[in-house]
Homo-oligomer: A and B are copies of this chain.
Amino acid sequence: MARPREFDEDTALRLAVEHFWEHGYEATSIRDLAAVMGLTSASIYNAFGDKHSLYRRALDYYVEQSFGDRVGRFEGNLPPRDAIGAFFREIVERSLADEKRKGCMLVNSALEVAPHDPEFQRVVSGVLVQVEAFFRRCVEAGQRDGTISRAQPSEDMARTLLGMLLGIRVLARTRPERDLLEGLVRPVFAMLMP
């Protein structure tokens, strides 16, 4: 009944994520995206709407694949303290392997887009709340079975872990040094010990 798409929407979106992730929102033009995605601007507008909508789709895609995967993979499959450990170990390794220094697209969005845009404000804030909740579930489980210290309330510990996570993401963007990042998490881990 109609002409079919010549491109795969999912791979096109993945390519858009990659470019937005590396260059941010403002520094990316529709023509950049068209070149990277292998499409004309008309196709982009037809399939994804305007630049703002496409960035939203890209960020959602990134969050779903990045956080959803990590949380789901560790929680339940590992003892609570190990889940937190595995989470941070993966963040550190990923940061050190990040040749292009793209950092974390959520953190990038938190600083570039969210402050001036209520919609992204809400999206970013929501994800951070979820990550905090993940940490808190881990800490509470560990405090119940005695593998995590009860010296601090689980709320505070979860907040500290969230802050630590964001700090690593920022620091790694300009100083991706193993000693620095691994040294940074050691005292936090010591804090968890009962």
Instruction: Indicate if the CB atoms of A187 and B110 lie closer than 8 Å.
Output: no
Inter-chain CA distance A185–B152, complex, in Å, is 11
Nearest CB of chain B from residue A143's CB, rounded to whole Å: 13
Tallying the copies of this chain within the complex gives 2
A159 CB-CB contact with B under 8 Å: yes
- Check if A1 is an interface residue, CB within 8 A of chain B: no
Is A163 among interface residues, defined by CB-CB distance under 8 A? yes
Given contacts A111-B103, A167-B162, A188-B160, contact A121 B183 (CB under 8 A): no
Contacts of A124 in B (CB 8 A): 174
Residue in contact with A156 in the complex, picked from B101, B165, B169, B183, CB distance below 8 Å: B183
In whole Å, how far is A63's beta carbon from the nearest beta carbon of chain B?
Answer: 14
Cβ of A141 under 8 Å from chain B? no
Q: Are B128 and A115 in contact (CB under 8 A)?
A: no
Given contacts A114-B173, A124-B174, 7 further A-B contacts (CB under 8 A): A108-B111, A115-B174, A156-B186, A156-B187, A159-B183, A162-B171, A169-B170
